[in-house]
């Protein structure tokens, strides 16, 4: 334990504190990473990590194309149309629908913004309280773990020399079980907290409900086109096998054709999404790479790896609870998982784990932690849409299901 290791520990604590105070994530990670490399007398390691991350062609293609596609599609009305008379079952149904839509729109906040205007009035008319309504939707916003366009799947796939579909296959069953835990757990918590009271909501309190009966199936299915192409091409029809970026372009062309949108406006929207994907998602990956470089330069990662080598049990809990707790307190499952996967996951074989298993476990655990964080961006978006004044109300309903889910991940994935 050299003085640089102790300095790195102090910097990591200060980094977590800054993220809790909601300072800009990329700035905090970059500043911390560069400071650690400078204290270790190796500033070039941080600069090289920045340059390497910003030119990662595989991630740029997958993430930017997926975000561009997400900016131009919607799926909500087709799925929500049959649900208006389900009563209490509308709570787990809303969670399941959000989970499914998040596969096609792998941005949690973007998915919530798409789902909210349709699902919130349905839940409220069924007698679900505002916090229960918001929790039901938030409970499904980690379905993006099954998306070929999710940055974590592309990141771990490149690290493990797998394709994206193979990487999803590593964690798919566990992610589906976590989805079921969320769906059932949120419903039970809503019942215990008295969120379902049929007839308790007056008509005057509600905004005019969206018309969910007039559904154009061709338009509504547009978000699924890239997913279907990728799954079908990789599993059954090799002739149409293609990369994520190519599938997103085909999906965008299909969407333009069935919606008869203005081509110029459509193009601007698509490329705006690509730019947003680079700035927001890849920006965090770049910053996390610099932060990880600082941890390596200081020697802290070497110490941590030695601890993990001591026991498979330590590795099991370190790779799950670590990103989970970071996701809760920093509001970003992405930042926690990317930093962990950049610094620790490449060494997985040295402590008896496979790279894709540890990488996807960290990503899933980080997402579960973000789900119960009261300061996450998606929680705040949903609170605004549902009229919930305090995001802690969502944490009350999601904390126990998410803790159960991450314990399941730690016990089952290793």
Q: Measuring CA to CA, which residue among 9, 108, 59, 162 is closest to residue 333?
A: 108
Please give the Cα distance from 133 to 92 (Å, whole number). Answer: 10
Higher pLDDT, 309 or 194: 194
pLDDT, one tens digit per residue, over 259-305 is 888 999 999 999 998 898 788 778 877 888 898 899 889 998 788 77
Question: Rounded mean pLDDT of the chain?
Answer: 84
pTM above 0.85, yes or no: no
Angle, helices 244-259/224-235, rounded to nearest 10 degrees: 140
Give residue 59's pLDDT.
64
Alpha carbons 77 and 106: distance in angstroms, whole number: 18
Q: Could you give the percent of the chain with pLDDT greater than 90?
A: 39
Cα 296 to Cα 303: distance, rounded to the nearest angstrom: 10
Supply the DSSP symbol for 117.
H
Cα–Cα distances in angstroms (integers) from residue 396 to residues 230, 372, 377, in the given order? 38, 8, 17
Strand partners, 196: 128
| 366-377 pLDDT, tens digit each | 999 999 988 787
Contact 186, 382 (CB under 8 A): no
Tokens in use for 392? 């802690």
| Cα 188 to the center of its chain, rounded Å | 24
CB 74 within 8 A of CB 223: yes
Q: Using one digit for the tens of pLDDT, what is the confidence trace for 116-154?
A: 777 888 888 888 999 999 999 999 999 999 988 888 999
Express each pLDDT in 306-354 by its tens digit.
776 666 677 778 889 888 988 887 667 787 788 888 888 888 888 888 9
Q: Which residue(s) pair with 128 in the sheet?
A: 196
CA–CA distance, 16 with 20 (Å, rounded to integer): 6
Provide the pLDDT for residue 210: 45
The torsion of the CA quartet 286, 290, 295, 299, rounded to 10 degrees, works out to 130
State the Cα–Cα distance between residues 258 and 194, nearest whole angstrom.
43
Q: Is the pLDDT of residue 83 over 70?
A: no
Cα separation, 53 vs 192, whole angstroms: 46
pLDDT score recorded for residue 37: 96
Cα–Cα separations (whole angstroms), residue 234 to 106, 168, 170: 20, 12, 15
Q: Are 413 and 317 in contact (CB under 8 A)?
A: no
- Asked if 149 and 281 touch (Cβ cutoff 8 Å), the reply is no
Q: Is the pLDDT of residue 79 over 60?
A: no
């Amino acid at each position: 334990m050299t003085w640089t290791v102790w300095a790195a520990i102090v910097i990591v604590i200060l980094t977590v504190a800054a993220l809790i105070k909601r300072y800009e994530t990329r700035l905090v990670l970059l500043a911390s990473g560069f400071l650690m490399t400078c204290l270790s007398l190796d500033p070039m390691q941080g600069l090289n990590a920045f340059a390497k991350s910003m030119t990662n062609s595989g991630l740029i293609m997958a993430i930017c194309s997926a975000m561009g596609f997400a900016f131009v599609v919607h799926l909500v009305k087709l799925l929500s149309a049959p649900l208006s008379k389900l009563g209490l079952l509308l709570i787990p149904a809303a969670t399941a629908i959000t989970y499914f839509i998040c596969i096609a729109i792998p941005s949690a906040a973007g998915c919530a913004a798409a789902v909210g205007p349709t699902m919130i009035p349905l839940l409220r008319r069924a007698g679900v309280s505002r916090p229960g309504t918001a929790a039901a939707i938030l409970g499904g916003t980690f379905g993006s773990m099954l998306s070929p366009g999710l940055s974590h799947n592309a990141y771990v796939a490149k690290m493990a020399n797998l394709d994206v579909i193979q990487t999803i296959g590593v964690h798919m069953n566990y992610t589906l079980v976590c989805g079921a835990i969320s769906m059932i757990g949120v419903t039970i918590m809503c019942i215990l907290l008295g969120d379902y009271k049929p007839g308790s909501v007056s008509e005057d309190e509600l905004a005019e409900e969206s018309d969910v009966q007039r559904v154009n199936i061709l338009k509504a299915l547009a978000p699924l086109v890239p997913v279907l192409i990728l799954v079908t091409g990789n599993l059954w029809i090799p002739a149409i096998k293609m990369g994520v970026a190519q599938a997103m372009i085909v999906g965008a062309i299909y969407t333009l054709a069935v919606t008869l949108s203005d081509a110029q406006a459509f193009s601007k929207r698509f490329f705006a999404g690509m730019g947003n994907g680079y700035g927001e998602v890849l920006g965090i990956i770049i910053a996390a790479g610099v932060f990880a470089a600082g941890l390596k330069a200081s020697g802290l990662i070497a110490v941590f790896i030695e601890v993990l080598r001591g026991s498979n049990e330590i590795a099991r809990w370190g790779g799950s609870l670590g990103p989970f707790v970071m996701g809760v307190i920093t509001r970003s499952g992405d930042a926690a998982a990317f930093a962990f996967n950049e610094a620790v996951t490449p060494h997985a074989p040295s402590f008896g784990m496979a790279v894709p298993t540890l990488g996807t476990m960290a990503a899933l655990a980080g997402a579960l932690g973000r789900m119960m964080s009261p300061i996450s961006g998606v929680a705040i978006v949903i609170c605004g849409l549902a009229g919930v004044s305090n995001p802690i109300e969502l944490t009350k309903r999601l904390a126990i299901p998410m803790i159960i889910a991450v314990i399941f991940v730690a016990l089952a994935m290793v």
